[in-house]
A and B are shown apart, each in its own frame.
Chain A
Amino acid sequence: MKARVTVSLKPGVLDPQGRAIHHALEGLGFGQVADVRVGKVIELDVADGTTESQVAEMARKLLANTVIENFKVDLG
């Protein structure tokens, strides 16, 4: 069974990587981009029956730094 944890920077947290990507996209002529934020996706292969709250606990304890990051859990 798969679990997917999507980690993203909280709104308002400066994202210099996103800004650099934004500049590069503009340089390629993609002028329609208003903002870029970089996050990460962590895919876990977990035992059947693992609950969303168990994966959320993993995210709170390690996978995300909740000082600066939000996370979202998707199972299945």
Chain B
Amino acid sequence: MKTAVVVFPGSNCDRDLMVALELVTGRAPIALWHDDKELPEELDLIALPGGFSHGDYLRSGAIAARAPIMREVIAAAGRGTPVLGICNGFQVLTEAGLLPGALMRNAGLDFVCRDVKLEVVNTQTPFTSAYRPGEPVTIPVAHHDGNFQADSDTLDRLEQQGQVAFRYAEEVNGSARNIAGILNHRRNVLGMMPHPERVVEPAHGGTDGRRMFESLFSAFA
């Protein structure tokens, strides 16, 4: 399985994501720079990591979403290549228009950094097939702008079309309908605020994130 992680100035979870991908796929991901003009051929996954790209200036993910590499990421997503955005990566995906809605300042205004309980809502995706439907999992969050908002028509559509991948099982940041992660209509793009790459081996204190990478691996191995 051939994977790539896009690094923006200010990304800080890129290394953890690469370690998690290599652990599960057995192959080190290719690191791409925001200013790269083209993607390696035949990628099975493009992952956008967490962090504070461009200092979160203007809006979280806004500048990164207009980086040269993102034109290629958007084109690849259009061809069906799986794209995973975690935390700041999720913010970049909404800013780039690959996912609907927006991630706003947490309702409590605090930066939230702790383990949270989630429900896996949709397991019929290449990202979540190794989970059980409705399964409770614990994955950490660490964000200031994770409050997912969209108009009610969009929220209804996301729910009716199976585009909600993860829901918070507790109050975290004020997100509409407790949405923690969403898919595009084609289900090849997933954005989520929790950090699965931070819980992939027992020494991390949990392994509930590992099956996301195993799901992807089994889809492409």
**Residues in chain B near residue A63, CB distance under 8 A:** 58
Query: Is A14 a contact of B109 with CB atoms below 8 Å?
Result: no
Q: Which of B81-135 contact A (CB under 8 A)?
A: 94-95, 100-102, 104-109
Bound CA span A20–B109, Å: 8
A12 to B: closest C-beta gap in Å: 8
**Residues in chain B near residue A17, CB distance under 8 A:** 105, 109
Q: Which of B17-76 contact A (CB under 8 A)?
A: 58-59, 62, 66
Interface of B is mostly: loop
Query: Is A16 a contact of B150 with CB atoms below 8 Å?
Result: no
Classify chain B: how many residues form its interface, as a range: 10 to 19
Q: Report the 7 A-B pairs with minimum CB-CB distance, sorted nearest first.
A: A68-B102, A67-B102, A16-B107, A16-B105, A16-B109, A20-B109, A65-B59
Query: Interface of A with B (CB < 8 Å)?
Result: 13-14, 16-17, 20, 61-63, 65, 67-68
What would be 28 A-B contacts, judged by CB atoms less than 8 Å apart?
A13-B104, A13-B149, A14-B104, A14-B107, A14-B149, A16-B104, A16-B105, A16-B107, A16-B108, A16-B109, A16-B147, A17-B105, A17-B109, A20-B109, A61-B66, A62-B58, A62-B62, A62-B66, A63-B58, A65-B59, A65-B95, A65-B102, A67-B94, A67-B100, A67-B102, A67-B150, A68-B104, A68-B149
